[in-house]
Amino acid sequence: MGVLVDGFGRRFRYLRLSITEVCNFRCTYCLPDGYRKTGAESFLTPDQCERVVRAFAGLGVGKVRLTGGEPSVRRDVAEIIARTAGVPGVDKVCMTTNGWNLERQVGAWRAAGLTNLNVSIDSLDPEGFRRITGHDRLASVVRGIDAACALGMPSVKVNGVLLRDGVGQGFDAFAEFVRHRPVAVRFIELMRTNDTAAFFAEQHVPGTVLTTWLAERGWTAHARGLDDGPAQEFSHPDYAGRIGLIAPYAPGFCDGCNRLRVTARGQLRLCLFGELGVDLRDLLEADAPEALQARIVRALIGKPAGHRLHEADSGDTRQLAQFGG
């Protein structure tokens, strides 16, 4: 079947697989009113998740990230990790989590084969964390991160959304956080979705506020790896960890796209901010691997050159938990 290449010559080595739309946080930039069920929650089964991963691995994908919603709301998340890790060709099994269950379950996830962990923390101030997420759990989340490091997790990263309220002192706090921790903190430039237009107008700041802050303090940029996500990371000789930026509004952001998404309902999304998707569910239920791979390859013909966020066009993305941001 070959490798996954689109009409613009971009090579895809990275799959983001959402396993649920449910999230137990109420983050201001995503689900300020909490998760609301819309229709039957017929999310992919562990068997179907494994079939997705096998199909993509057969097409040259070696890195798989489990996302949500919040993946750990599923009681079978460790089983899905183990099945993903057992697929030939997959050498990185990643998960993004809000940290709710991290402290209690990170040992089981690591034992199941998790290699890369991303934890969402938007503020290291306990009150700021509570205000953004709706929960007073910062201390537990940080203990979970330290436990992951102690277990020898090969890659531990922290994701924080870049908000106007967190500029300045927020950067100072995260820099101190990575002074002695071998952790990468990556700030994600706030993205406008259909449900958060007003919040975006109030809180969006360009990623250059961070890169300027880093340059003034002697942080230097690192080159990205072939299967890395879109972050540009920076290091400093006085710090064990790194600080990075994901800037979707920067020129050329989509030029190096190397990832595809499958939603928790079995839809292939060619772009997080695109329109509609390609349904794979029928082939997952039928266990038809060759037909599944053929459909994936054909779908890449329709992948656009880039998103249209600059035009305030978020496609049909209501909020990021919908498709696994």
Angle CA 298–303–308, to nearest 5: 165
Summarised one tens digit per residue, pLDDT across range 258-279 is 899 999 999 999 877 556 689 9
pLDDT for 56 equals 97
**Structure-token match 């390609």, residue found:** 278
How many angstroms separate the first and last alpha carbons of the chain? 28
pLDDT for 271 equals 78
Of residues 170 and 46, more confidently modeled: 46
Q: What length is written for the chain?
A: 325
pLDDT for 33 equals 80
- Give yes or no for residue 68 having a pLDDT over 80: yes
Alpha carbons 281 and 265: distance in angstroms, whole number: 7
Query: Residue 79 to residues 76, 109, 148, 205: CA-CA distances in angstroms?
Result: 5, 9, 19, 39
pLDDT for 65 equals 97
Assign 47 a pLDDT band (cuts: 50, 70, 90). very high
Summarised one tens digit per residue, pLDDT across range 128-162 is 999 999 999 999 999 999 999 999 999 999 999 99
Q: What is the mean pLDDT of residues 285-294?
A: 95
95-124 as b/e: b if 16+ CB within 10 A: bbbbbbbbbebbeebbebebbbbbbbbbbb
The pair phi, psi for residue 94, each rounded to 5°, is -115, 160
The answer to whether residues 63 and 57 touch, using CB atoms and an 8 Å cutoff, is: no
